[in-house]
Structure 1
Amino acid sequence: MTTHRMITLAAAVLALVGVAGPAHADADVTDGRVSLTVHGHGVRVDRVDGWLTGRHPGARARLYTVYQGSRTDLTAWKRARVRSAGRQRIMQATWTPHRRLPQGAWLCVQYDGADGDPCARIHR
């Protein structure tokens, strides 16, 4: 089984069980119409994409972490861009934090006015 297929399968299982997934290297997590894609190595996060299904002019997104019960905003609100995927319109926001997060922290994306805040657990 390829790595991409394994990640896709893991994300599907996690979507059935909950809205969190591991991000030791890469992770794809979906909660409702909001998705989170994390790229990195170990506890270092190099790129994060937040996706919102549908066209939502003026949609804004931000990243936050949850560690030891405390929520911390990692970024300010950022305006998302409209992307096309065939006939489907999606909103995308991208960040390149290039930073290390604490072992066991949860990295989450939030879209203003959208239900669902998917999170990925950061670990080695």
Structure 2
Amino acid sequence: MMTAAAAFLFLACVTVPAHADATVTEGKVGLSVKGKGLSVKRAGGWMDGHGTGVRGRLYTVYRGERTDITRWKDATPVTAGRTRFSSVDWNLEGRGFRDGTWLCIQFNRADGTPCAKIHR
């Protein structure tokens, strides 16, 4: 039986074009984006393993310019069978983005920074 984290890892790839709807992993970090068109309702991510002080934040990259769109947020440790990960998510309430914007996640305890391209 596949756990939620294993299912995310099964869909692994570095970057994915999306209509504001994508699941992406890079190394030990994953990003999930839910929305429609150029509007994002929810975004969040996970990092393999538990730890104290694990925090995540979202940022965008548009035409080479990086902009933080959330502050650092404490991650919640999750255990599903033998799988352990730290999870964080945000309700973006249908926030709109420009066509071609990359939405990315960063954790303070991991190197991976997966991104999903928001496009029409």
| CA distance in 2 between partners of 1:111 and 1:68 (Å) | 23
Is the aligned partner of 1:70 residue 2:53? Answer: no
Which residue identity does 2:99 align to in structure 1? Q
Q: Percent of counterpart pairs with the same letter?
A: 52
Residue 89 of structure 1 is matched in structure 2 by 84
TM-score with structure 2 length normalisation? 0.87
User: How many positions carry a matched residue from both structures?
Assistant: 110
| CA distance in 2 between partners of 1:30 and 1:68 (Å) | 22
Superposition deviation, residue 25 in structure 1: 4.3
| CA distance in 1 between partners of 2:49 and 2:99 (Å) | 34
Equivalent residues of 2:20, 2:117 under 8 A apart: no
Is the aligned partner of 1:103 residue 2:90? Answer: no
Show CA shifts across 1:33-86 (max 9, x none). 000000000110001121001112210000000001100000000000011121
- Higher share in helix: 1
TM-score with structure 1 length normalisation? 0.84
Which residue identity does 1:121 align to in structure 2? K
Instruction: List structure 1 segments (4+ residues) > 4 angstroms apart after TM superposition.
Output: none
Partner of 1:96: helix, strand, or coil?
A: strand
Unmatched tracts of structure 2, length 5 or more = 1-7
| CA distance in 1 between partners of 2:19 and 2:50 (Å) | 31
Unmatched tracts of structure 1, length 5 or more = 1-7
* Aligned ranges 1:1-124 → 2 under 5 Å: 11-12=11-12, 15=13, 19-98=14-93, 99-124=95-120
| CA distance in 2 between partners of 1:23 and 1:92 (Å) | 21
